[in-house]
Chains A and B, each alone.
Chain A
Amino acid sequence: MIKVTPFHAFHRAAGAHMAAFAGYEMPIYYTSIQEEHLAVRQRAGLFDVSHMGEFIIRGPQALDLVQLVTTNDAAKLSDGQAQYSCMTHERGGVLDDLIVYCIEKQKVYMLVVNAANIAADREWIIQHNAFDAEVVDISEKTCLLALQGPAALNILQPFTDVDLIKLPYYRFVKTSLLGFKPVLISATGYTGAGGVELYFENKDQAAETIWQALTEAGKPYDMKLAGLGARDTLRLEMGYCLYGHELNPDITPLEAGLGWIVKWNKDFIGKPALLQQKEQGIARKLVGFRLIEKGIPRQDYSILDMEGRPIGHVTSGSFSPSLNQPIGLGYVETAYAQPDTPIQIRIRNQNVKAVVTSLPFLKKS
C-alpha cells in the first residue's frame, strides 16, 4: 500500500504531478522543474520531504552506538550540532548516507536517513546495538519541510523567536513554532541555496497549520512549492550524492568523494576495509562532468574515453537550469578523474563529448 504524507491534500490541490518514490506518493513537480529550481536559487521554495526517515537513539551509551554504525566522528558534536555521515558494512560499502543530530551529547541523537532505507537501516542499527540504547523509529509521525533559498529565513522569521540569521550551517534549535512544540529548526538542506529544514510531529493539525502559514508568508517573496524533481536538479548542481545513484552497497565513501566524512581516529563498521582501500588507492572515482554537445546523460549510460573505450558509467544526469547546460555525475577510472579531462558519454548509440568538471558545478559567487 502506497503511503502519503500529511501534506498530500495540499499537493493535490496545488495540481502537483505525483509519483511513487520510496513507497510514498510524492510531488515530483507542481508547475515545472526548471521554474521551481530557479525559484529556490533566486528566492525560495518549499519542499515536503516527510518521506525521509528519523530514528532517535537514546541511552547512556547512545554515542557509542552512533559511533559504531557511522563513519564520521559524532563525538565532536555538541548539543545543537548536526553532521553529514554515512553507514558502511564490513566491506566498506555504503548502506546509507545520513545526518546525525546531537540532541543531548552522549545520550540522545537523531539520525535522518533515506526513505528507501528506513527498514534496513533500523534493523542494521538494532543488530549492532551492544550498548543497550533505545532505538526508536519516529519516521511515520515526523513531518519534514525544507524551506530553501535566499529568502527562506525572511519567510520563517516572523514565526519564531530564534534569530535565524545567527543559526550557522549544520546547527539546529529545538523550539516552538506557531504554538507547536517541539519543532526542530535546522540550518541544513540539500539544495546549496541556504535555508532551513523543519522537523515536527503531526499532531493537533500541526502539518496543516505550518504549511498554510509558510505558503501564505512566502507569497510576498514569490516562494514556490517545489517537488522532488527540482530537489534532484538542485543537489546535482552542488554535486551532492543521492543514495541509489552515486551511493550503494558496492561503492565505498572513498570512491564517492566522501573521504571527508570518514574519520580514522575512531572505530566503526567497515573501517579495516576502508583503511586498506585508502592505502591501496581507489580504482574508480566519482566525478562531475558537463556535456559540450547536445544530450542529457542519464543513470547507467556508459562513459568512454576519447578512443571509445568504456571507462565508467553515469550515476545521475540532467539539464542544469542555473548553468543552462547538461551536467552529470559518474564513476570513472581514477586516471580520468582530473578536471578538464575530455570524455564521452554514450547516449543512445551516439558518443557525445563531455569534460570532467570540478564540483560543485555551481561555484559560490
Chain B
Amino acid sequence: MKFPEHLKYTPEHEWIAVQGDTATVGITDFAQRELGDIVYVDIPSAGKELDAHAPFGTVEAVKTVSELYMPVKGTIIEINPRLNEAPELVNQDPYGEGWMIKIRLSDPSQLNELLAAEQYQQLVGN
C-alpha cells in the first residue's frame, strides 16, 4: 500500500497535494482498497466554498457508499471530469488520475492540522 511522502492526509482518508494557494484532493490507497470497486463518484458541489470536514460528495462502491470530506476549508474550482465515465480510476490510481477535486485554499494555516504520511500510515495500521 502506498503513502506518498509529499502529501498530507486526513483521518477520513482523504489526501491533499498543495500547489501554492490551490490544492488537489483525492482519497487514499487505503480508502480505495476498503471501498472495493468504485462505480460512481458524485460531486455536486462545484464552485462552492466548504468548511474543513464538510462533505463535498459521495463515492459509491459495489458494497458500500461513503461520504467525501474537505480536508481544509476551500472553494471547489475543478472536478476531475474523467471520473464520470471512468470512476475505476480511483481504484487504479488513487493519487494520480483518480484525483477528485481542485480547491482554492481559504485558510492555508489549516494544513498544519493534517497528518503526515507516516502518521497516516500508523493510523491505518500499516
- Residue positions of A touching B, CB distance < 8 A: 17, 28-29, 32-35, 229, 233, 294-296, 298, 318-319, 321, 326, 348
Q: Counting CB contacts under 8 A, is B62 at the interface? A: yes
Residues of chain B lying within 8 A (CB to CB) of residue A17: 33-34, 36
B40 touches A295 (CB 8 A): yes
Residues of chain A lying within 8 A (CB to CB) of residue B42: 294
Q: Given A294-B42, A296-B60, do A32 and B36 touch, yes or no (CB 8 Å)?
A: yes
Q: Shortest distance in angstroms between B50's beta carbon and chain A's nearest beta carbon?
A: 17
CB-based A-B contact count at 8 angstroms: 40
Q: Counting CB contacts under 8 A, is B39 at the interface? A: yes
Q: How large is the interface on B (under 10, 10 to 19, 20 to 34, 35 or more residues)?
A: 10 to 19
Residues of chain B lying within 8 A (CB to CB) of residue A295: 40, 60
Residues of chain A lying within 8 A (CB to CB) of residue B60: 295-296, 319
Q: Shortest distance in angstroms between A290's beta carbon and chain B's nearest beta carbon?
A: 14
B63 touches A34 (CB 8 A): no
- Residue positions of B touching A, CB distance < 8 A: 33-34, 36-37, 39-40, 42, 58, 60, 62-63, 65, 91
B63 touches A28 (CB 8 A): yes
Q: Shortest distance in angstroms between A211's beta carbon and chain B's nearest beta carbon?
A: 24
A33 touches B36 (CB 8 A): yes
B33 touches A33 (CB 8 A): no
Q: Shortest distance in angstroms between B106's beta carbon and chain A's nearest beta carbon?
A: 26
Q: Shortest distance in angstroms between B44's beta carbon and chain A's nearest beta carbon?
A: 9
A296 touches B36 (CB 8 A): no
A296 touches B37 (CB 8 A): no
Residues of chain A lying within 8 A (CB to CB) of residue B58: 348
Closest to A37 in B: B62
B37 touches A34 (CB 8 A): yes
Partner of A229, one of B34, B63, B91: B63
11 sample A-B contacts, Cβ–Cβ < 8 Å, listed by A number: A28-B36, A28-B63, A32-B36, A229-B36, A295-B40, A296-B40, A296-B62, A296-B65, A319-B39, A319-B60, A326-B39
Q: Shortest distance in angstroms between A96's beta carbon and chain B's nearest beta carbon?
A: 24
B40 touches A298 (CB 8 A): no
B62 touches A229 (CB 8 A): yes
